[in-house]
Amino acid sequence: MSRLPCQVRSDDLWFADAPADIELAQALCGGCPVRQQCLTEALDRGERWGVWGGEILHEGAVVARKPRAGRPRKHPVAA
């Protein structure tokens, strides 16, 4: 079996802040044969951050995109 993307790339990629790096990590996970197992085990372990199984974890939950760093808004933004 060939090496998995997470075994040949720097660990920093899977915990990146830059949107382009996060998208690359997710794309590399796309064809991984253990993608679902990776995500399931990360959630079971309580991983809080990073790209696991092609999904972004933020504070232990799967999110559509990583929240920006910085202070939260004082007032909600209208949709």
The band of 70, judged by pLDDT with boundaries at 50, 70 and 90, is low
6 is in an annotated binding site: yes
The amino acid that residue 44 corresponds to is D
Contact 39, 49 (CB under 8 A): no
Q: Which residues contact 37 (CB under 8 A, 6 or more apart)?
A: 53
Taking residues 59-68, report their average pLDDT: 83
Would the CA dihedral through 25, 26, 27, 30 be positive or negative?
positive
16-53 pLDDT, tens per residue? 999 999 999 999 999 899 999 999 999 999 999 999 99
Domain range annotation of the chain: 34-65
38 is in an annotated binding site: yes
Beta bridge pairs of residue 57? 50, 62
